[in-house]
Amino acid sequence: MLKRYEGNPILTGREFGWDTSGVFNPGAVKFGDEYILIVNATQTIRPYLLWMARSKDGVHFTPDPAPLPLEPMEQWPEECDLYDPRITKIGDTYYITHSSHSAIGVRVALTKTRDFQTFDRVGIISELGNRNAALFPEKIGGFYARLDRPSGNPDSANENNGIWISYSPDLTHWGQARPVMNVRKGFWDDHKIGAGAVPLRVEQGWLEIYHGVTFSCNGYMYSIGACILDCQDPSRVLARTIRPLLYPLEDYEKYGRVPMVTFTCNALLEENGEVKVYYGCCDERIGLAVGRLDEIIKACYETNPYPYHHSL
Q: Quick one: pLDDT at residue 156?
A: 58
Domain presence at residue 311: no
Domain presence at residue 103: yes
Alpha-carbon gap, residue 130 to 18, rounded angstroms: 32
Domain presence at residue 306: no
Provide the percentage of residues in the chain whose pLDDT is more than 90: 81
Question: What does the mean pLDDT of the chain come to?
Answer: 93
- pLDDT tens digits along 144-165: 999 999 986 665 555 667 999 9
Evaluated on CA atoms 255, 261, 264, 269, the torsion sign reads positive
The conformation of residue 140, written as its DSSP 8-state character, comes to B
Q: Quick one: pLDDT at residue 274?
A: 98
Domain presence at residue 305: no
Confidence label for 46 from pLDDT (cuts 50, 70 and 90)? confident
Q: Quick one: pLDDT at residue 159?
A: 63
Least trusted range by pLDDT, from 84-88, 217-221, 271-275: 217-221
Domain presence at residue 312: no
pLDDT score of 202 more than 80: yes
Confidence label for 138 from pLDDT (cuts 50, 70 and 90)? very high
224-230 long-range CB contacts below 8 Å, 24 or more apart? 224/2, 224/196, 224/262, 224/263, 224/264, 224/277, 224/279, 225/188, 225/189, 226/296, 226/299, 226/300, 227/181, 227/300, 228/202, 228/204, 228/297, 228/300, 228/301, 229/180, 229/199, 229/205, 230/205, 230/206
Confidence label for 72 from pLDDT (cuts 50, 70 and 90)? confident
Q: Which residue has the higher pLDDT, 65 or 151?
A: 65
- Let me know: does 212 contact 221? Beta carbons within 8 Å: no
Mean pLDDT of 19-48: 93
pLDDT score of 133 more than 90: yes
Domain presence at residue 17: yes
Domain residues for the domain of 271 are: 3-300
Number of domains forming the structure of the chain: 1
Domain presence at residue 273: yes
User: Best-predicted range by mean pLDDT among 15-19, 154-158, 306-310?
Assistant: 15-19
Alpha-carbon gap, residue 72 to 305, rounded angstroms: 50
Q: Is the peptide bond before 9 cis (omega within 30 degrees of 0)?
A: yes
Looking at residue 139, which CATH number applies to its domain?
2.115.10.20
Domain presence at residue 251: yes
pLDDT score of 57 more than 80: yes
Q: Quick one: pLDDT at residue 161?
A: 74
